[in-house]
Structure 1
């Protein structure tokens, strides 16, 4: 067993037919195994693909370091920029003008406090957008879930539950508006056919700009609170 085997996160999937690996922006190396596969199969596939994995992990670490240096103590939020200020004895994040007061010291505690604060703000920001969208479209929605999705910024379930990523708060305001409307339109058309895009175009004709922004800058948003 190699002593320098990369650390990885192990997942199991009922749909997986064989072991697979991927490098995620915020979780690093992830190995997915079929439900009944032996755990040692994960080690085997990591060792087998080590020549492919190692340079990509190094690139990711370099990007994280560069991102952390660039971000510094600033937090973007819906087009604003808040200065992050550590405060001894604080347990939760709290906004004071242009500052976000956070726990001082432990980086993990600080990250958890910032994420909790952003999740609450995401719900506050998204709710009126969705309420306006469903009223305009003449439909009803289910509950709103604030998530940290890895592959999608939002989703709409068959029961009408709409899920939105809290990381949309780190993007310009029109990105949250676009994704919320996108999911609301799925309450009318549960597909990406021409009728869906025509409906979105009718109500948000400028949707292509925020969609392009998320394609280009989305990977960077997933580095926030994971750049350590």
Structure 2
């Protein structure tokens, strides 16, 4: 069962991935099932029967764990195909940057970033469709993530030994840690750097503390200052961290 805790203000939180989701329980007379909904502020409302126990609520939260991860962290829509044309923008480091498309004497599309805008160079023969353009964009992000995220992890760890680190697709999670192996999702490069640092700190501290322990957030803050602000940013914005 995933941990459920109360913060200093008495707010109940359900921990899923690197997110601590605030939730309230509304007990309704005559209700027979437990239903969940997310508010616009990414907080949970649990509607439960009057006689539902704390364990019943926790079990219902666990049953909807996959739905929560999809809702908070985002799930790519296979039917949505971007054209990647001039006038669009790309998210990087938590900010949207303008995209310009330029024809060049090349065989395959290639993405470049000059610090303020993206330039997608495409073959002059006009043979690069949206799938080829998308592949070039994703390849650029994956390369940048492989360069930046390990440095981020080392900066967070400080004097701690850094687990063996890989940057790839981690499915529904932003970070996974198994023993001495740390896996970061390449899409974290789309988020602000402090948010990426927070996910690393969360994973490292999770090895020694459970998120429901009072010492957990103190330890996370020591590695990634303002961890709660980063956690909230990811809870509110994680679903849009997609190409």
**Do the structures match in fold with TM over 0.5?**
yes
* Residue aligning to 1:141: 162
Aligned length: 163
CA contact (8 A) 2:194 2:224 kept: no
Matches within 5 A, 1:38-57: none
* Structure 2: gaps (5+ residues): 1-65, 123-127
Q: Aligned partners of 1:182 and 1:97: how far apart in 2?
A: 29
C-alpha offsets along residues 30-72 of structure 1, whole Å, 9 cap, x if unaligned? xxxxxxxxxxxxxxxxxxxxxxxxxxxxxxx7xx69x99xxx6
Q: Aligned partners of 1:134 and 1:100: how far apart in 2?
A: 31
Going from structure 1 to structure 2, the CA distance change for 1:80 and 1:219 (only over 3 Å counts) comes to closer
User: Higher relative CO (CA 8 A, sep ≥ 6), structure 1 or 2?
Assistant: 2
Q: Aligned partners of 1:122 and 1:190: how far apart in 2?
A: 28
Correspondence for 2:176 among 131, 150, 155: 155
Structure 1 segments, 4+ long, off by >6 Å, are: 21-24
- Pair 1:168 & 2:188 matched: yes
* Residue aligning to 2:216: 196
TM-score (norm 2): 0.56
Q: Aligned partners of 1:97 and 1:25: how far apart in 2?
A: 28
Q: Aligned partners of 1:202 and 1:168: how far apart in 2?
A: 21
C-alpha offsets along residues 110-134 of structure 1, whole Å, 9 cap, x if unaligned? 1111111111212222222211232
Q: Aligned partners of 1:150 and 1:215: how far apart in 2?
A: 17
Q: Aligned partners of 1:132 and 1:110: how far apart in 2?
A: 33
- Pair 1:99 & 2:117 matched: yes
CA contact (8 A) 1:185 1:200 kept: yes
Matches within 5 A, 1:1-228: 25-27=75-77, 73-88=88-103, 89=106, 90-104=108-122, 105-136=128-159, 138=160, 140-158=161-179, 160-186=180-206, 188-189=207-208, 191-194=210-213, 195-222=215-242, 224=243
| Partner-residue secondary structure (3-state), 1:93 | strand
Q: Aligned partners of 2:153 and 2:201: how far apart in 1?
A: 7
Q: Aligned partners of 2:224 and 2:231: how far apart in 1?
A: 12
* Residue aligning to 2:15: none
* Structure 1: gaps (5+ residues): 1-20, 29-60
In terms of fraction of residues, the more strand-rich structure is: 2
| Partner-residue secondary structure (3-state), 2:76 | coil
RMSD value, Cα: 3.2
TM-score (norm 1): 0.59
Shift of 1:94: 1.9
| Partner-residue secondary structure (3-state), 1:115 | helix
